[in-house]
């Protein structure tokens, strides 16, 4: 189960992100990066954060701990900025929180060393979930004490925007040409050998069980949240064994 906390204070908007996440304090005295349920991208972004974040963590990649954050829209009343106030007011209920990594810096491919093993595991994982948001322009990785942390898995699993076409969409290649780790000789073959066997129905059931029901309810074509959880698991299970053969644009490749 994800930790459940309640927001007690809105601290500041985090301006870098396209979706305007916020920094909040919660009733456990922790600081969290909050992804708003009422943001334009909607609940599917939050579902993607949970599925990919919890899957990556179980594969041994570093992801800040996730939590659900209950938000009382009253917190927005004192907020001077119209845009932030609007987000707070439209996000009452369950939102997504991520441990704020204080002291972490944005990953800079020109100022960092990453081993080909780790680069391979991350590129392979991004191919599995079809992450289109880990480019050198916008790496969505943080560095702290020499360690790489993965954040921002909102733009993944494109197939969840069109479930009837999910199987076809999930069979497409993954373009890694702009990937932030492409210059670190990612060893995706080794990563596939190590990680693909770990993607089992059981693991995916455990991961999708972490998605709060409220973000799954009411999806057209699905009667229950659990049916939708299974739909999230299926393409990942189908891709795991062979996705490394469909990664395009790796440097050194013809």
Smaller CB distance to ligand ATP: residue 57 or 234? 57
Q: Which stretch binds ligand ATP (CB under 6 A): 15-23, 68-76, 160-168, 185-193?
A: 15-23
By CB under 6 A, the count of residues binding ligand ATP is 21
Q: Are strands 174-175 and 247-248 parallel, antiparallel or unpaired?
A: parallel
The distance of closest approach from Cβ of residue 150 to Mg ion in the complex, given in angstroms and rounded to an integer, is 11
Which does residue 70 touch among Mg ion, ligand ATP, none (CB within 5 to 8 A, set by kind)?
none
Q: Which stretch binds ligand ATP (CB under 6 A): 12-20, 122-130, 185-193, 244-252?
A: 12-20
Smaller CB distance to ligand ATP: residue 179 or 244? 179
Residue 21 as a binder of ligand ATP (CB under 6 A): the answer is: yes
Which does residue 154 touch among ligand ATP, Mg ion, none (CB within 5 to 8 A, set by kind)?
ligand ATP
For residues 110 to 139, the per-residue mask of contacts with ligand ATP, x marking binding by CB under 6 A and - elsewhere, is: -----------------------x----x-
Residues paired with 142 in a beta bridge: 106, 149
**Secondary structure of the chain in HEC code, one letter for each residue:** CCEEEEEEEEEEECCCCCCCCEEEEECCCCEEEEECCCCCCCHHHHHHHHHHHHHHHHCCCCCCCEEEEEECHHHHCCCCCHHHHHHHHCCCEEEEEEECCCCCEECCHHHCCCCHHHHHHHHHHHHHHCCCCCECCCCCEEEECCEEEECCCCCCCHHHHCHHHHHHHHCCCEECCCECCHHHCCCHHHHHHHHHHHCCHHHHHHHHCCCCHHHCCCCCCCCCHHHHHHHHHHHHHHHHCCHHHHEECCCCCC
d(C-alpha 2, C-alpha 6), whole Å: 13
The distance of closest approach from Cβ of residue 18 to ligand ATP in the complex, given in angstroms and rounded to an integer, is 3
Q: Which of 34, 141, 151, 195 lies at the binding interface for ligand ATP (CB under 6 A)?
A: 151
Which does residue 106 touch among Mg ion, ligand ATP, none (CB within 5 to 8 A, set by kind)?
ligand ATP
The distance of closest approach from Cβ of residue 152 to ligand ATP in the complex, given in angstroms and rounded to an integer, is 3
d(C-alpha 132, C-alpha 143), whole Å: 20
Residues 33-62 interacting with ligand ATP (rule: CB under 6 A):
33
Q: Which residue is nearest to ligand ATP, using beta carbons?
A: 17
The distance of closest approach from Cβ of residue 8 to ligand ATP in the complex, given in angstroms and rounded to an integer, is 18
Are the beta carbons of 245 and 188 closer than 8 angstroms? no
Binding site for ligand ATP (CB under 6 A): 14, 16-19, 21, 33, 64, 98-101, 104, 106, 133, 138, 140, 142, 151-152, 154
């Amino acid at each position: 189960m994800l930790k459940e906390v309640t927001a007690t204070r809105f601290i500041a908007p985090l301006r870098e992100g396209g979706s305007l996440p916020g920094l909040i304090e919660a009733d456990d005295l922790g600081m969290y990066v909050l992804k708003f349920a009422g943001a334009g991208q909607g609940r599917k972004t939050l579902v993607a954060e949970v599925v990919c974040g919890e899957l990556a963590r179980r594969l041994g990649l570093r992801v800040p701990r996730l939590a659900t954050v209950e938000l009382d829209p009253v917190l927005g009343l004192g907020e001077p900025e119209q845009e932030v106030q609007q987000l707070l007011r439209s996000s009452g209920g369950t939102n997504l929180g991520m441990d704020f990594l204080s002291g972490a810096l944005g990953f800079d491919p020109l100022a960092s060393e990453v081993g080909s093993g780790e680069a391979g595991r991350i590129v392979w994982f991004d191919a599995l979930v079809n992450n289109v948001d880990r480019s050198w322009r916008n790496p969505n990785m943080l560095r702290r004490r020499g360690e790489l942390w993965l954040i921002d898995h909102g733009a993944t699993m494109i197939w969840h925007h069109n479930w009837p076409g999910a199987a076809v969409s999930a069979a497409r290649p993954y373009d890694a040409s702009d990937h932030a780790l492409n210059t670190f000789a990612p060893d995706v073959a080794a990563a596939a050998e190590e990680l693909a066997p770990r993607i089992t129905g059981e693991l995916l059931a455990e991961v999708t069980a972490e998605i709060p029901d409220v973000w799954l309810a009411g999806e057209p074509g699905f009667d229950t949240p659990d049916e939708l959880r299974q739909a999230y698991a299926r393409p990942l299970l189908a891709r795991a064994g062979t996705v490394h053969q469909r990664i395009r644009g790796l440097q050194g490749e013809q």
